[in-house]
Structure 1
Amino acid sequence: MNIKNCKWLKYGLFGTLALIGFNACSDDHFDIHSSTPQQSLWQQIVADPQLDSLRQILERTTFTVDEYSKTGKLTYAQLLASSQTFTVWAPEDGTYNAAQWLAMLDEGKNREVEKQFVRNHIARYNFSGVNGGDTIKVTMLNSKINDYNLLDNTFKKVAIDGKVNEASNGSLHKLKGVAPFASNLYEAIEFTDGLDSLYNFLHEDDTLIFMKDASTPGATVNGEIQYVDSVFQISNKVIGSLNFWQNEDSLLMGIFPTNKAWTEAKAKVSKYFKYKSRYPYSEDNTTKILYNKFDADSMADVRIKNVMLNNIVTSLGKQPGYDATKSSLSYFKNFIDNADSLVRGGATSLDDPNIHQPYLSKIVEGTEPFEVSNGYAYAIDNYGYVPSKSWHTTIRVEAEYQFYQDINGFASAEKNGNYYGNSVYLTSLNRNDSIKGYVSNNSFAYFPGSSSASQPTVSFKIPNILSGKYDIYAVMVPLNMDKKTQSVEETKRNHFSASIVYDYNDRNGRDIEQAAVAEDGSKDFETRAGVIDSVLLFKDFEFPYAFKGAEPCYPKLKLKSVVRTAAQKKIYDPALYIDCFLFVSKDDESDN
């Protein structure tokens, strides 16, 4: 783990209390007693024979800031003997398996005991005599939100034994059992057996950042400010803050690959992110090398991580049709079994929107969900994600988007300012209703020649290409698409050739270009009259390298109008009418 601008406080009592974020004075809302008891919380625990097991656990459990900090010297026994205010819900001997927690301390599992047991029974402030309704939502030291029911006299549905014991620094409630601990999604990864690979992966890029502006400065010693209340935030270069995974107010879903599935996932994802050390790009009609020392390994590592992380946690609150008020383990399971896709952060989808049942449920097939404090999760042994429905998705490039025009690849085409072609937007006033089909964005572009005798060549950059297979289409529109009353019979068609530039020859400095071949073996394609025509140019075309992340280097798709003879000129128009280009992603058989 990396540490940035981090000043560690020594583990004295004062420094530790400051790290927890305690204030010097308590909230009057929780301290409404007319008399002040003389014994501290710790003294009361020691004096009560029914709390002997708890005493042993508290004496041996030491305070830690987080999973990165070393175990300190301050015990929770000392913390409860301090002047700071707490409420303790104390399980009585014989009502829980205390030996389990003591054994974990023997094994050096201080953090697990601290977070799952000790902090799950201690809250800041005094919750004796509180007002505010039948149930109080109490935030514990482990950030869990537990219900304190005043009418039923229960804490997290565990009965409270007898009256409240007032203390000089808070109040003590004795429980007839242990308050159950539920991991949130973030904690479940840490504490669930078999998820070591995922946990290590998530944390290998962690950075602990000292938040100077949010911290409280104290005295200056040897020229350095000593902070009495230091605030830190854990961040990660790849996934940003992990905090929302821990948000107890959220309703989330996790799909966790086990160690077995993790190995499978890396192999499945990594083959789509093969990079090379040199990538070409065109400038001033010449091909140049942009990256002489492109860090292929680092780029692949980042891209693979992004894909795998995007498939781990999803918000259930953003899912159309998911009723959070009815949320339960059975309700959640039924929802997943009948959902075809999930909305991810923003407007993107966990899976391609064109997927159909039962793909999503197949990802978790054979596994049962388990409940966490902020949602539900699956631990999957098989990485059932299909690449074409998750990360290796279909790419659409609109012909009217000038950004993707490869200016250097155009030839004999009419220029319109700095770019080529003319955009046409379809409305009820100009669309020819006799032509059926879908025009994406209700717009297309046409590219006439620079003269009446010219046969234009157009060239487009294709973004986000991965090292995988695609079926490549040019979606062509009829030349009367925007001529509302022009018939099919009086409308010419397009006739063209196509090629793709997908690599660079280091030895001779030339682009590596492959011509498209039609089904009849010819190198020319023609559009059908009266229809929006998706012309298949390449089937199962496999890119040897990925281009995503290597921008401004792109593979380029070229179309060249072919209207040479007098006979061709009678039925074909040299101007190319293009809606878009589709790169339809294909899966290897081994991926399904």
Structure 2
Amino acid sequence: MKNSYINKFKYGFLGASVLLGTVACSEDHFDVKDPSSNGSGSTIWKSIQSNPDLSEVADVLSKTRVMKDEKDKKSTLTYDKWLDASDELAAWLPTNDNFDPQPYHNKLAEAERLKAIPDSLAAGLRLEYQVVKQFVNNHIALFNSGASLTQPKVRMLNSKNTAFNLAEGTFGGVKFNPALTTHNSNGVLYVLESEVPFRHNIYDYMSSSSRFSTVFGIITNPMYDKNVFSPSASLEGAMNEKGEMVYVDSVFINTNEILNRSNALIKSEDSIYVAFIPDNEAYKQTYKALEPLFEYGKSYNYDWQDGKFNKTGGNALKFNVDSLVAVSTQSTLLQSMFFNPSSFEGVDKTDSAALINHIMTADSLITTNGVVFYNKNKGGINPMFDGLTPVKASNGYVFVPSENRIDPAYSFMGRTEISPRFITAKLQNCKSENGEVINLTIENWQKDSVEGEVENDQYMFYEYNGNMSLKFKILGLPSGHYKISAQMLPNRINYYNANKDDEGNQKPEDPRFSATLTDDASKRFGKTVNNIHVPQDRVANVVLFDDVYVDKSYAILPDGYESFAILEIKMSAKDHKDGGCPKG
């Protein structure tokens, strides 16, 4: 037997997380120095105040807090105070003529209203942080970030890389008047003709519109999105009376379990991704399409040892089915929305037209977490993307479907190869305890009489020794309909395993067997298929089940518990004899 083929689920959500995101401190995000230490000379803030054409932006700055992240409720410092301090900064600010401050005032006012309501505090902080990230920090940079007038791009406080051309007098594509530039004791102030549009990265784009309130609401749910204390990155102080370390500066690292498991750094400005993000209606439809993959049973036997499950009956695994269905369906979709162009072979990643064309027409695409999406219209436009115009983000492209476009049979239940060598559960009446790995060589390979290729010139050989039963673990199988095949080789492919008479002449044989698929409690999925034959002239994919319905899901079971469906191949003494197989 070679590899078994089965439409199997790419799974995995709960588990170890890779920390990513931004570092957050317990004190103010920036090391603000005392304004009194400026010495003589004007500060950026004083230059702003002295220019009446900057009065509107000055009003916004004086009302906006310096926030380290969207959960910062402690900071009391506002930008007018910081721009009056001694930190070296560079600011590009718009004049009153082409700047409308009202949207920012509205957001800040609404944020204050929400923050006064305990249950709405988080929403208020997020709204306030939008003003910080999308406007204020989009126009200010640390002086050492590249704002030294020589770099083609400047790293802004919101981590955006913005084009800066001193010779042409442009910043982010917006003109500034060099004659109005002021060099101050704490940095440089440039006066722009208008504000620089905020360029959303993929994460920002999701947060920017109510169209994605469902998806973004799940991703930012505290169940998945957390600030984790990092002792190694924090500054230690002294022990308290209980012998516990008191930290002078506590550092927290933001971690998001969904994004971590997706393996896509969609907050990073230094990466490029292609995202497929459903709007609220599409999410609802896609959720319904994926939900049938998670028809969980009432209980699961687990702890497989010595050819059986040890935890059964009252000791079997039980859980809240509805809750796990919701978590599994959500996570399956949301962690599989991103593609990394670095995996697109032969595509120039800097050529946006070539990149988009590949997305639209490739036979298959692999997500950043390893799920393969197959093109149902092979050779043509992929129905997943047909008719959709990608939105350009600062770190990639976003496709937004307004209805479900994901077919589980062409994605989460795609074809997967499983080597029997690594999924053996139990062998009975087989001469070798675990089967035997056979290497085909020039000496033993009868290529003239058996057609077909054998991967790595290697296959598994199970030698009959009575009523033989081979049981294999089918791990992570979601509920649904399956076609299951096994790649079979005739004994005669190997000269030394061929059936021979007493004079050494090879004899014909017609091996046959049965196949059964059961759950962890030995309940059959469908019927046992009997009298399955192995072709003797070629390597063949032998269909075991043309359409078997699995009504119990094994995908994304609670972490630490392994239960599975079992595929059993049986060759009875009668099958062995009737097939004319060699005696064991």
SS in 2 for 1:542: strand
The worse-fitting range, judged by mean Cα deviation, of 43-52 and 560-569 is 560-569
Question: What's the TM-score once normalised by structure 2's chain length?
Answer: 0.80
Aligned to 2:344: 319
CA distances 1:156-188 after superposition (whole Å, capped 9, x unpaired): 121121233012221111111211210111111
Q: After TM superposition, which residue ranges in structure 1, 4 or more long, deviate above 4 angstroms? A: 7-10, 126-129, 217-230, 281-288, 352-355, 484-489, 510-515
Q: Does 1:536 align with 2:543?
A: yes
CA distances 1:404-460 after superposition (whole Å, capped 9, x unpaired): 2222xx33321x3xx24322122344322232224344322222233xxx3422222
What is the Cα deviation at residue 196 of structure 1?
0.5
How many angstroms apart in 2 are the aligned matches of 1:82 and 1:370?
A: 39
How many angstroms apart in 1 are the aligned matches of 2:565 and 2:24?
A: 50
Counterparts of residues 187-586 of structure 1 (less than 5 Å) = 187-204=204-221, 205-217=224-236, 230-240=250-260, 244-280=265-301, 283-284=305-306, 288-290=310-312, 292-297=316-321, 299-327=324-352, 330-345=353-368, 348=370, 350-352=372-374, 356-358=378-380, 361-399=382-420, 401=421, 403-407=422-426, 410-414=427-431, 416=432, 419-434=433-448, 435-450=450-465, 454-483=466-495, 490-504=507-521, 511-512=523-524, 515-517=527-529, 523-550=530-557, 552-564=562-574, 568=578, 571-573=580-582
The worse-fitting range, judged by mean Cα deviation, of 101-110 and 91-100 is 101-110
SS in 1 for 2:59: helix
Cα pair 2:526 2:549 within 8 Å, conserved: no
Which residue type is aligned with residue 245 of structure 1? Answer: I
Aligned to 2:52: 49
CA distances 1:559-583 after superposition (whole Å, capped 9, x unpaired): 22245399836x34467xxxxxxxx
Which residue type is aligned with residue 400 of structure 2? Answer: A
What is the Cα deviation at residue 301 of structure 1?
4.4
Cα pair 2:277 2:399 within 8 Å, conserved: yes
How many angstroms apart in 2 are the aligned matches of 1:226 and 1:457?
A: 62
Instruction: From the superposition, tell whether residues 131 and 221 of structure 1 become closer, same or farther in structure 2 (CA, over 3 Å).
Output: farther
Aligned to 1:144: 160
Aligned to 1:155: 171
SS in 2 for 1:70: coil
Gaps of 5+ in 1: 1-6, 26-34, 505-509, 518-522, 576-592
How many angstroms apart in 1 are the aligned matches of 2:409 and 2:360?
A: 21
Instruction: From the superposition, tell whether residues 296 and 532 of structure 1 become closer, same or farther in structure 2 (CA, over 3 Å).
Output: farther
Cα pair 1:436 1:532 within 8 Å, conserved: yes
How many angstroms apart in 2 are the aligned matches of 1:393 and 1:71?
A: 49
How many angstroms apart in 1 are the aligned matches of 2:246 and 2:428?
A: 68
Aligned to 1:583: none
SS in 1 for 2:188: strand
How many angstroms apart in 1 are the aligned matches of 2:220 and 2:147?
A: 42
Instruction: From the superposition, tell whether residues 366 and 93 of structure 1 become closer, same or farther in structure 2 (CA, over 3 Å).
Output: same
CA distances 1:477-530 after superposition (whole Å, capped 9, x unpaired): 1111122997997332212222222252xxxxx65476433xxxxx32222221
Percent of residue pairs bearing the same amino acid type: 24
What is the Cα deviation at residue 394 of structure 1?
2.7
CA distances 1:342-374 after superposition (whole Å, capped 9, x unpaired): 34337x354259983446x32122321111111
How many angstroms apart in 2 are the aligned matches of 1:50 and 1:207?
A: 42
CA distances 1:53-98 after superposition (whole Å, capped 9, x unpaired): 1111112222222222237432211221222221111111212333
SS in 1 for 2:400: strand
Which residue type is aligned with residue 152 of structure 1? Answer: E
How many angstroms apart in 1 are the aligned matches of 2:128 and 2:376?
A: 48
Aligned to 1:82: 85
Count, aligned residues: 526
Cα pair 1:455 1:574 within 8 Å, conserved: no
What is the Cα deviation at residue 122 of structure 1?
0.7
What is the Cα deviation at residue 238 of structure 1?
4.0
